Amino acid sequence: MPTVKSLAENQSEALAEIGAIARQVGWGAIDILRSYYRGDSNEGDLEIKDKKDGPVTAADLAANRHILKNLQTALSHEDFGYLSEETYQGESVAKDWVWIIDPLDGTRDFINKTGEYALHIALTYKKRPMLAIVGIPEAEKLYFAIKGQGTFVETRDGTQEPRRVSTRNQIEDLAMIASRSHRDLRLNTMLERMPFKERHYMGSVGGKISTILEQKCDVYISLSGKTAPKDWDFAAPELVLTEAGGKFTSFEGNDLTYNNADVSQWGGLMASNGHCHQELYTLATNLLAEIDREST
């Protein structure tokens, strides 16, 4: 791993160097995940275990170990905190700069072999993302962004290309994407009443956001129920979307914050190409109120 400048010395240059390290670490984690996914060599046993928020596999844990070990080794000169799905102990991290990591987003899809799983690595500063990586292992693509520097996609050969969201600007022309499995009746009813041109469903938040970056879809909607998505589901996807020109907010139009006492992201979330964003979350809020009145 190369040495890097201190964030205190030159933040912009340091973030670019840290980003290069994070991409290298991300590709290594992608290789680990793909090896488990295919059952290669000695890494075929997923050792699936159930935990409170869903299953965890040997692949989650192996990728997590790789990410933490390599980031901590390469960046030991910085006072970073680390918040990972697989090591979270129920408390926020008392640091300004915190890595938020999901080594395997979409574990159920990984187990079910849908191919719809992703890798999330984000570096946050005072609860907001500054650097992000979203890896899509089965596409062998790695999306990355640094605050204020745009979003790019890197392929296995090192080729990098910028990514921008679509220019579609009428709700009736938009393609929506939502979770394949994390949908209750309330969310389904709301989605059915929104006048989208197309509706798609898939696993992994990172995977869904990648479809917006590739201009295949335009809107992703999440709504918590008995449980809620966590910081590691959103931190990296948010930045790669917003740096590509999109928007990612609550239904109230507020930015999300991360590394709070509660890592759950409760309520409604709207991610879009940005052109109808306020209109969309206003419509969603009104539809939910209508649905709730009908159910009482």
Cβ-based burial of 94 (10 A; exposed 0-12, middle 13-18, buried ≥19): exposed
Could you give the CA distance from residue 99 to residue 69 in angstroms, rounded to a whole number?
Answer: 13
Residues with Cβ within 8 Å of 14's Cβ and at least 6 positions away in sequence, in order, are: 4, 5, 6, 7
Instruction: Check whether 105 is labelled as a binding-site residue.
Output: yes
Q: Which residues of 126-151 are buried (b: 16+ CB within 10 A; e: fewer)?
A: ebbbbbbbbbbbbeebbbbbbbeeeb
C-alpha distance from residue 295 to each of 189, 195, 281, 289 (Å):
12, 22, 21, 10
- Give the DSSP H/E element, type plus range, for residue 282: helix 277-295
**Type of residue found at 5:** K
Q: Are 196 and 49 in contact (CB under 8 A)?
A: no
Cα(172)–Cα(16) distance, rounded to whole angstroms?
Answer: 39
> Residue 85, annotated ligand binder?
yes
Instruction: Look up residue 13 and give its two tokens.
Output: 């240059």
140 appears as a binding residue in the annotation: no
Residues annotated within the binding site are 85, 102, 104-105, 233
Residues annotated within the binding site for Mg(2+) are 85, 102, 104-105, 233
